[in-house]
Amino acid sequence: MNWAYPASLWGLLVVPLAITAAVIAGRKGRRSLNAIGRNSVEWQVRSFLRNLAMAVFIILVVLAASEPRSGRKPVTGERSGLDVAVAFDVSRSMLAEDLSPSRLDRSVTALQQMLRSLDDSRFSLIPFKGDALLMVPMTEDRVVLDMWAGRLGPGLFTHPGTDVEAALRTARDSFPKGDGRNRVLVLITDGDTLSGRIDRISRDLAEEGIPVYTMAVGTSEGSTIPLGDGSYVKDSTGHPVVSRTRMDILKRLAEDTGGSFHELSRPGATADLIADIEEGREFSESRGIRFVGVNRYRIFLIPSLFFLLFFLLVRIIPWRRR
Amino acid sequence: MIKDDLPSRVRRLHVRSRKLVESLFAGNYHSVFKGPGLEFDDVRDYEYGDDVRFIDWNVSSRMAAPYSKTFKEERELILLVLVDVSASLSMGSGGIDKREVAGNLFALLALAAVANNDRVGSLLFSDRVERLVVPMKGRRHVLRQISEVLGYKAESRGSDLALAMRTAAQSLKRKSIVVILSDFRSDGYQSEMALLARKHDVIAIRLSDPLDKEFPSTGLVELEDPETGEGFTAWGKSGALRKEYAEFWDDHRRSWLNDCRTAGADTLEVGTDEEPADSLQAFFRRRRGA
Amino acid sequence: MLSFNEPGWFALFLMFPVLIWARFIWRKRGGRIIFPYRVWGGDGFRPPRTWLRSVVVFTDILYCLGSVALIAALAGPEITEKEEVYLSRGIDIIIVLDQSPSMGAKDFPPVNRFDTARDMIRRFIAGRSGDSIGLVTFGSDAVLRCPPTADYAWLSERIDELELRDLGDDTAIGMGLAVATLHLANSTAPEKIILLLTDGDDNAGEIRPEMAARLADDQKIRIYSIGIGSEGEVPIELINSENGTVTRGTIVTNFDEDQLRSLADVTGGGYWRANSPGALETVFQAVDALESVVRRVTVRVSSRPVHRNLVIIGSLLVAVVYLIRKLLLGETP
């Protein structure tokens, strides 16, 4: 189980507050009952149960608002054809040479292989760095795609960084409206110093049933980044920066959206990626269903409502008449 | 406060009442309770010096000679205690409620009367007469009444004082001492009380509680009147509520005092925070002095 | 449109009347503290009316609303949108637009030929759906501005970016057609169309229009050619985008009607002449009508869940009520 809104879990911080509130409320209640000469075990139990019910309600409702997600459910919908949005990392760390000749060159080769293999598909191309740009809109035009594939490089943007969220969002928006085609997102990145709220876009993509196939370029061991003149990118202390791939994030992203994760450093990775995409498409076209993430907020919302009812019933139910 | 079981409570009250009787009633009991006063005894020839008021005209005219009534003073008192067992007596801020105080007062009075060899009766009432025991003599009889009053569970919740007084007036043939133990949260009893007080020595004992004078400093609470089942939501921190509450019950107390004075009944207030024996003692001392 | 994916949960509302009755009306309910305040047979204490009453009622209502929100959230509310979806492949169209200076002629109000043509293209695009549309412009040279795409937003942005004389002062119709043909060549669309808009004679480029038309015909691409411009002298105004200088004058433009017609004929397309904005509009409507193919359309319902908002609103309401009644007013129990 993972959370669609993990940030909401911070809401659990109100729990100590809620308990403090319950204790204060309990004390006030006892004082009231003493004043009126009715302090009895019955009333104390009642007060305690009500405050307890409210505290439990708050915990459960926060969990419900964080939206636990697990599993995927099929959704019917006839689809044919395939649209692939390719988000392509052109950050400077892509110049690292832990893959030969460089991460960038290997990635471009992989992209070209995809363009050739998925020949009846449409592609859009979104190079990204600290910023993302829809360079080629969703098109079948291989001439344009091949041309831009060859021109990908860090020079396209001046904004440093690796904003995956912006890239994925731009990629998602590149699927034209009113198309009954299968949609697939391919993220090619070295996964270094990723920024942006990946959980947020991942949630949206899962909801819409757009799988993200991630291609990790580079190695977990990392590599220094050459500047072309024989020197390397250095940090403020003068040590060469080592770029490492955050495999876990990419793996998680693929898992959450129903795609798959691949490492370009492994032989046959590109072919596997293409096979996965085709398999998904075939499944969708032959069965007329695809899978979207399932939100299981009800498993917390139902008990929370129960405790809300309990909160009320503890008050309403007459225990014994004096 | 741990509540005693009934027998031990009776025992404890017994001890207290003995003290009360010893210190107060010994010797001058009748200066506290006037009693029925003179009781018709016989007629005899009129003698010079007899009060003309005592000439029995019926006999005189039949015998064609003046006859004079003779009286003997009634030594035996009749005590009838009206005990309010309505639900409104279940009020008490300090662990003891009015109902318990009423029971204690009844026990004290009854035991004192037993010590004096008087007759004791009791009338338990809510909005109806729950139980009437005609005044009788005898220690065992009185003790049984005490434990009955202390442990009595009322069948009805309201409080109809007028009915209780009417019933008392009907059941008492001779002049008696009628003690009313109630919170007087009942209306329309004024004329009945006047009627009762004309013939009997009526002592109205009003059971009170600090909660009568001031609204408790509660949070938001929903209150229910035990007699009518009506409810309202109150906030004890509200100045307006506290003010009106205090004024209302102050008015209520004053009109009670006024009613009793008009009817000719003697009054005593006993709070749940007071020792009933002490209150009675003070009351009797006051009466003897009067 | 709002819909619920598990509306059965609304049955919980059936509890409401019972609970409301039990909480507010039922005489034997718990939670009431025994406190005598009445006088039997008389009046008794009447609580004064204070602001408190309104606070209590207000918070009771908030509590109800909070529960309603949470139950509604349980029912799985979704904003659903119906969307027409094209299952079959649409046609591919590349619009080849003349960007030469003569397009600045002011005989097509409100501004000039170029802006009017752009307007018409925008309208044309808005009327199509499911088709891929691309854009090639030409002056001395020809450039692909947008590959055939269904992403009309992106295409519109490219159209907006166009400026006259970007590509020199000549009119390379042949190059324009050739570039368009190149980008349509490996399209899998059932119909491939080039929509040529020009106001002049081909006078530049390495490829002659006739040659380009034959290439297009080989690829089963049809050319619809539209000659625009009125006859005679027309005023022209050109703004240099670099230094802002304005050049005014008059020109006489003429296009080779026979050539445009033959381009269309060779490829099985059509030729129109538009000498006014109204005529141009009619032409576009004609093309639109000609190229309407029957397609498989399905209605797809896409939904966006909104329950989370209700969960948050509902829980906040309940928490606020608890805060006010328990902590501020010290409610018991």
DSSP chain B: -PPPPHHHHHHHHHHHHHHHIIIIITTTHHHHS--S-EEEEEEEE--TT--GGGB-HHHHHHHTS-EEEEEEE----EEEEEEE--GGG---TTS--HHHHHHHHHHHHHHHHHHTT-EEEEEEESSSEEEEEEEE--HHHHHHHHHHHHT---S-----HHHHHHHHHHH--S--EEEEEE---B-S-HHHHHHHHHHSEEEEEEEE-HHHHS----SEEEEE-TTT--EEEEETT-HHHHHHHHHHHHHHHHHHHHHHHHHT-EEEEEETTS-HHHHHHHHHHHHHH-
pLDDT tens, residue by residue, A151-198? 888 877 777 778 888 899 999 999 887 777 888 999 998 877 667 788
ipTM of the modeled complex: 0.75
Q: What's the CA gap between C188 and C184, in Å, rounded? A: 9
Helix (H) or strand (E) holding A23: helix A14-36
Q: Do A304 and C70 touch (CB under 8 A)?
A: yes
Q: What's the CA gap between B210 and A202, in Å, rounded? A: 67
Chain B partners within 8 Å of C38 (Cβ): 88, 185, 225, 227-228, 230
CATH number reported for the structural domain that contains residue C191 in this entry: 3.40.50.410
Same domain, C131 and C253: yes
Mean pLDDT of C208-234: 83
Place of tokens 């009534």: B69
C45 three-state secondary structure: coil
A160 three-state secondary structure: coil
Chain C partners within 8 Å of A321 (Cβ): 28
- Per-residue pLDDT, B247: 92
- Per-residue pLDDT, C1: 84
The interaxial angle of helices A164-173 and A198-208, nearest 10 deg, is 20
Other CB atoms within a 10 A radius of the CB of residue B49 amount to 6
- Per-residue pLDDT, B32: 60
* Domain A74-293 in this protein, CATH class: alpha beta
Q: Which of C88, C149, C158, C186 to mutate to test the interface with A (most CBs of A within 10 A)?
A: C149
- Per-residue pLDDT, B179: 92
> What would the two tokens of residue A304 be?
């929370």
Q: What's the CA gap between A91 and A153, in Å, rounded? A: 8
What stretches of chain A adopt beta strand conformation (E)? 2-3, 68-76, 82-89, 122-128, 136-139, 162-163, 182-189, 194-195, 212-216, 223-224, 242-243, 261-263, 289-295
The reply to whether C252 falls in a domain is yes
- Per-residue pLDDT, A37: 79
Same domain, C96 and C42: no
Same domain, C150 and C286: yes
CB nearest to A295's CB, from C298, C305, C322:
C305
Q: What's the CA gap between C322 and A51, in Å, rounded? A: 9
Pairing of strands B67-73, B38-45: antiparallel
Q: Is the pLDDT of residue C89 over 60?
A: yes
Q: Do B158 and C40 touch (CB under 8 A)?
A: yes
Confidence band, pLDDT 50/70/90 cuts, at residue A302: very high
Same domain, C322 and C244: no
Same domain, C42 and C162: no
Confidence band, pLDDT 50/70/90 cuts, at residue C130: confident
- The interface residues of chain C toward chain A in range 184-213, judged by CB-CB distance below 8 A, are 185-189
- Per-residue pLDDT, A230: 65
Range of the domain at C184: 88-290
CB A218 within 8 A of CB A100: no
The reply to whether C187 falls in a domain is yes
**Total domains present in chain C:** 2
- Per-residue pLDDT, C262: 84
Answer whether A235 touches C (CB < 8 Å): no
**Average pLDDT of chain A to the nearest whole number:** 83
Same domain, C144 and C71: no
Answer whether C25 touches B (CB < 8 Å): no
Identify the bridge partners of residue A89 per DSSP, sorted by sequence position. Answer: A128
- Per-residue pLDDT, B22: 67
Residue of chain B whose Cα is closest to the Cα of C56: B233
Answer whether C154 touches A (CB < 8 Å): yes
Q: What's the CA gap between C285 and C274, in Å, rounded? A: 12
**Average pLDDT of chain C to the nearest whole number:** 84
Q: What is the largest CA-CA distance in chain C?
A: 114
Domain ranges of chain A: 2-67+296-316, 74-293
Of C306, C10, C308, C311, the C-alpha closest to A61 is C311
Q: Do B127 and C331 touch (CB under 8 A)?
A: no
- The interface residues of chain C toward chain A in range 60-99, judged by CB-CB distance below 8 A, are 67, 70-71, 73-74, 83-87, 89, 92
- Closest CA–CA distance from residue C298 to any residue of chain A (Å): 8
- Closest CA–CA distance from residue C32 to any residue of chain B (Å): 5
Q: What's the CA gap between A243 and A160, in Å, rounded? A: 14
Q: Do A35 and B92 touch (CB under 8 A)?
A: no
Same domain, C37 and C107: no
pLDDT tens, residue by residue, A114-131? 888 888 889 999 999 888
Pairing of strands C92-98, C132-138: parallel
- The interface residues of chain B toward chain A in range 229-248, judged by CB-CB distance below 8 A, are 236
Q: What is the largest CA-CA distance in chain A?
A: 93
CB C332 within 8 A of CB A314: no
Same domain, C165 and C217: yes
One-letter amino acid at C19 equals L
User: What whole-number percentage of chain A has pLDDT above 70?
Assistant: 93
- Per-residue pLDDT, C292: 66
DSSP state of A102: -
Same domain, C22 and C168: no
Same domain, C34 and C147: no
Pairing of strands C297-305, C77-86: antiparallel
Residue of chain C whose Cα is closest to the Cα of B237: C329
CB A137 within 8 A of CB A85: no
Place of tokens 């002056």: C139
- Per-residue pLDDT, B214: 87
pLDDT tens, residue by residue, A12-67? 888 888 788 878 888 888 888 888 877 778 888 888 888 889 889 999 999 999 88
pLDDT tens, residue by residue, C141-175? 888 999 999 888 999 999 988 887 777 778 888 88
Q: What's the CA gap between C222 and C226, in Å, rounded? A: 13
Q: What's the CA gap between C143 and C132, in Å, rounded? A: 18
Q: What's the CA gap between A138 and A125, in Å, rounded? A: 8
CB nearest to C187's CB, from A65, A79, A140:
A140
The reply to whether C281 falls in a domain is yes
> What would the two tokens of residue B26 be?
């010994």
Q: Do B236 and A37 touch (CB under 8 A)?
A: no
The reply to whether C298 falls in a domain is no
The reply to whether C333 falls in a domain is no
> What would the two tokens of residue C97 be?
């637009």
Q: What values do phi and psi take at A148, rounded to 5?
A: -75, -30
Q: Which of C83, C92, C322 to mutate to test the interface with A (most CBs of A within 10 A)?
A: C322
Other CB atoms within a 10 A radius of the CB of residue B42 amount to 11
- What domains, with CATH codes, occur in chain B? 6-30+77-289 (3.40.50.410), 38-73 (no CATH)
Tell the burial category of B51 from Cβ atoms under 10 Å away from its Cβ (0-12, 13-18, 19+): exposed
The reply to whether C300 falls in a domain is no
Same domain, C64 and C158: no
Tell the burial category of B127 from Cβ atoms under 10 Å away from its Cβ (0-12, 13-18, 19+): buried
Mean pLDDT of C235-258: 75
Same domain, C126 and C73: no
Write out residues in chain B with pLDDT < 70, as ranges.
1-6, 18-41, 71-75, 289-290
Q: What's the CA gap between A183 and A208, in Å, rounded? A: 10
Q: Is the pLDDT of residue C294 over 70?
A: no
